[in-house]
Amino acid sequence: MAKAKAKAKSSGLSAVEAALALAREQHAQMVDFKFVDLPGTWQHFTMPAAALEPDLFDDGLGFDGSSIRGWQEINESDMLVRPDPTTAMMDPFTGVPTLSLICSIEDPITRQPYARDPRGVARRAEAYLLRTQLADTAFFGPEAEFFVFDDIQFDQQAHQASYAIDSVEGRWNSGADEGPNLGYKPDYKGGYFPVPPTDSQHDLRTQMVQTMIDCGIDVEIHHHEVGTAGQGEIDIRFCPLLICADRMMLYKYIVKNVARQHGKTATFMPKPLFEDNGTGMHTHQSLWQGDQPLFAGSGYAGLSSMALHYIGGLLHHAPALLAFTNPTTNSYKRLVPGYEAPVNLAYSQRNRSASVRIPMYSPSPKSKRVEFRCPDPSCNIYLALSAMLMAGLDGIEQQMDPGAPLDKNLYDLSAEERAGVPQTAASLEASLDHLEQDRDFLLQGDVFSDDLIDAWIDYKRTEEVDAIRLRPHPYEFALYYDV
C-alpha cells in the first residue's frame, strides 16, 4: 500500500504522479477502486487502466450507492468515489496486473465528504485531534486474531438451521479416520505457542505476513493463538489512525485471500467455536506531539496525567463505545464474565484481565501506551478507532479520573468485589442502548454525526439484533422440545 507513497517521497513526484507511474511500471491493465460500507466490509468496482487520468483523483468517479449496506435510499444514491493516491499498490491476488486504490466517498452535488463514509469519519477524527492542540498524532496498534478452517457450512431456513466447522487441526478430529491421522492437534485452549507440526499453519501465516510486507504493511510478529483448529494472530506495527485503518482493511483482505489460495477459509468472527477462546483485537494506542510521546510520565505505571485521563475516557464511555468496537451479536459470546475476554471496566499494569492494560515490556518513554482489550475484529475499523480516540480525548478534556488501578486477577474476584467493578454490556442490544444515550463525545468536531449514529443503531437493531431474536436457536430444541 505504501508503494506509491514511498516512490513519491524518494523521487519528488506528487502522490498522483507516483500512483500513475506505478501503474505504468507494473503494466497495470485494470484499476480497482475499494471503499468500505457501514458495517465495515470492503466493496469495489474495476475499470480498464487506460481510463485512469490524473483528473480522476480530483473529480472522482460516479457510482450507484443505493445497494451499499447502511447508506442512503435510492432517491439519494448517486455517489462519488475519490481515490487516495497514497494508497496505490498492485493487488497481489488478481489474475491480471491491477492497480488498487482505497477511496473516500463524496456527495456529487455538494462535493462534501459523505457523512456515512467510515473512512471520512477517520479523516475527521484526525483533523479534530489537531484542532484540540492536545497532540498532532494518534497512534494505534491492533492485535487482530482470526481462525483458518478447512471447511465451513451454514444454513438458515424456516424449518432448519445449522452450522458445521471442520479443521484438520481441530481437537475434535483426534479420533477421526483421516487415512492416516497424524495427530498433533492442539487441545481446546491449548494452542499458545506450539511449534510445528502442532502449529500446522506456520508457513501459511508466514505467506500472509510476506504478502503484507510486500504491500507496505509493517509486521511485528505472528504466532498460533490459544484456540484449537487454526487460531492465529499477526500483529502490525503501530501507525497513525487513518493509515492503521487502511492497513487493517488490507490485512483482512490478505488473510482471507491467502487462506483461499490454500483451499482454506479465514474468519474474523469473534466466537465461532463453543467452549474455546474467541477472537479479539487488543488495541494499543498513544498520543504524540512531533517526536514526543505524551503518554509517558511519572504517574502510575510510568504514565502521564494525560494518559490516565485518556484511560478515564475509555472506561467512562466503554458501555457506548462497545457498540462500535464489539458490534455484532456474536461479539458478546466472547465478552462473558469469568471467561477469556476482559469485561471488567478497570485498568492495570501488565494485567490481561483488565479491560485497559498498560504494557510494561520497556521503560522507554516511546513505548508507553495503553491497550484497550475489549475490541474484536468484526468491527468497522475506521469507526472503532475513531470512537476510541474520541472517548480518550473527551477523557483528557474533561479530566476524567479513571479511579484506582486493580492489580489483581479480575477473573477471580469475589462476588462482593465484583459488584464494585463496572462491566461491559452483556449484549449488542444493551451497547446500542448506551450509544443512543451517550453520543455527545462522538459528535465533537462533527467527527461523527447524529445521522450516522442513528443509521448505525437502526442497521444493527434491524439487521442483526432483531434477526437473531426472531429465529429459533438449534440449542433451544435440546432445551425445550419436550416441555
> What is the full DSSP assignment across 44-77?
EEEEEGGG--TTHHHH-EEEE-TTSTTS--GGG-
Residue 233 and residue 148 in contact, taking contact as beta carbons nearer than 8 Å: no
307 touches 370 (CB < 8 A): yes
Cell of 378: 468484526
371 assigned to active site = yes
Is 64 an active-site residue?
yes
Whether 282 sits among the annotated catalytic residues: the reply is yes
Given the residues 25, 64, 220, 412, select the one marked as catalytic. Answer: 64
Identified catalytic residue from 143, 276, 376, 394:
143
Query: Residue 95 has what DSSP assignment?
Result: S
Q: Which of 373, 394, 429, 434 is catalytic?
A: 373
DSSP 8-state code for residue 237 = P
**Residues written for the chain:** 483
- Candidates 321, 342, 346; CA nearest to 403 is 346
Largest distance between two CA atoms of the chain: 75
Q: Contact 187/273 with Cβ under 8 angstroms? A: no
Collapse the DSSP code of 304 into the 3-class scheme (helix H, G, I; strand E, B; otherwise coil) and give the result: coil
List 126, 246, 371, 429, catalytic entry: 371
476 is a catalytic site residue: no
Burial 10-25, CB ≥16 within 10 A → b, else e: eeebebbbbbbbbbee
User: Can you name the residues that pair with 452 across neighbouring β-strands?
Assistant: none
Q: What is the DSSP string of 378-439?
A: TS-HHHHHHHHHHHHHHHHHTT--------S-GGG--HHHHHTS-B--SSHHHHHHHHHHS-
Q: Residue 452: CB partners within 8 Å, gap ≥ 6? A: 115, 116, 121
Cell output for 106? 463524496
Cβ-based neighbours of 23, under 8 Å, separated by 6 or more: 31, 49, 52, 88, 99
d(CA 307, CA 297) in angstroms, rounded, equals 9
Write the CB contacts of 317 (distance below 8 Å, at least 6 apart in sequence). 391, 394, 395, 438, 441
d(CA 279, CA 331): 9
Which among 352, 407, 436, 438 is annotated as catalytic? Answer: 352
Identified catalytic residue from 225, 246, 276, 376: 225
Q: Which stretch of DSSP H or E encloses residue 257?
A: helix 241-261
Sign of the four-CA dihedral 43, 49, 50, 53: positive
Number of neighbouring beta carbons within 10 Å of residue 153:
9
Q: Which of 91, 145, 340, 464 is catalytic?
A: 145
352 labelled catalytic: yes
The catalytic residue positions are: 64, 143, 145, 225, 233, 282, 352, 371, 373
